[in-house]
Amino acid sequence: MSYASCVKTRRLHLTIALAILLALGVCGCAHRDTESIDLRQWRRVDTLWTGSSGHAVALYDDSAFTFDKAQVVVCEATPARTLIRLPPDTFPLVSKDTLNIFRLVDRSTPGWYRLTRTHGLTWWKRIFTEKSLGEEQWVPNQSSLPIPPQVQSSNGLLVLERGRFRRIADEDKMTSLFDAPAEGLIYVGEPGIGVVSSIELKSACE
C-alpha cells in the first residue's frame, strides 16, 4: 500500500469516528433536556453565563460521588431546569450567548495556535507507532496578534499572510488541528474544533 493510500485510509477512519461522535450528540446521547431539577443533591461548580433577565446558567456536579462525577448545565430560573447532561470526557465553554460542549481530546477552542509537524515519518510510523505527528501550542499572549472578522473566521481556520487573513479550511471537516493544510501560526475561529453539541442560551434560559 502506498504512503498516500495509507494517509487517506487513516483520514477516512478519523472522519468516520468524528461523524459517529457528532451523531451521538445530535441523537440525544448528550442527554439534552429542559426538565426541572432538585439542586439539593448537586454542587454548584461555576457560573457559565448570565442573561439580561438575570437568570444564570451554571455548571453542577453530583455531590454524592467522589469519582466520575456526573455533570449538568442548569438554567437557574424558577424552577431550575437542566439544559444538558454532559457526556463523559467533555467540557462546557460559553462563547457570547452560545454554550458549546467540547470533547477533551483533539479539540481546539477559538484563538491562535502554533502548529509544528514532525517531518520525515514514514507512513508505517505515522499509523502503527506512537511517534508524535508534531505539537499544537496555544499562543499565550493572544492580544499580541490580530483577530479576524467573525464573518470570515466563523467555522474556519485562517493564517495571516502579508497582513491579510486567508481561510485555509472549514472546522467541521477537521478531526483535529493536525488536519489543517498548513503549519506555523493558525487561527481557529468560532465555534472551534471538537464541538459535539451547542445550545443557544438566550432561547434556552431567558
Residue 157 belongs to a domain: yes
Low-confidence stretches of the chain (pLDDT < 50) are 1-9, 12, 14-16, 18-31
Say if residue 184 is in the same domain as residue 126: yes
Question: Alpha-carbon distance 99 to 114, whole Å?
Answer: 26
pLDDT, residue 41, reads 85
Tell me: do 164 and 63 sit in the same domain: no
* Same-domain pairing of 115 and 180: yes
- pLDDT value of residue 69: 76
Domain-located, residue 19: no
Cβ neighbour number for residue 178 with a 10 Å cutoff: 16
**Domain identity same for 148 and 119:** yes
- 137 burial class (0-12, 13-18, 19+ CB within 10 angstroms)? exposed
CA distance 27 to 68: 23
Residue 181 lies in a domain: yes
Query: How high is the pLDDT of residue 29?
Result: 40
Residue 95 and residue 150 in one domain: no
Confidence (pLDDT) at 101 = 97
pLDDT at 169: 97
Look at residue 31 in the predicted model and tell me its pLDDT.
46
Same structural domain, 68 and 32: yes
The angle subtended at Cα 107 by Cα 74 and Cα 117, nearest 5°, is 165
- Specify if 40 maps to a domain: yes
Estimate the share of the chain in helix, then strand, then coil, as percent rounded to the nearest 5.
25, 40, 35
Task: Write down the pTM of the prediction.
Answer: 0.75
Q: Are residues 116 and 174 in the same domain?
A: yes
User: Roughly how many angstroms between the first and final C-alpha of the chain, as a whole number?
Assistant: 56
Examine residue 91 and state whether it is found in any structural domain, yes or no. yes
Shared domain for 58 and 72, answered yes or no, is yes
Cell output for 205: 434560559
Q: Is residue 61 part of a domain?
A: yes
By the 8 A CB rule, do 67 and 176 touch? no
Answer yes or no: do 123 and 90 share one domain: no
* Same domain as 120, residue 92: no
| Tally of domains in the chain | 2
Domain that holds residue 177: 111-190
74 lies in the same domain as 34: yes
Within-domain flag for 171: yes
Q: 96 and 124 share a domain?
A: no
pLDDT of residue 22: 44
13 belongs to a structural domain: no
pLDDT of residue 63: 72
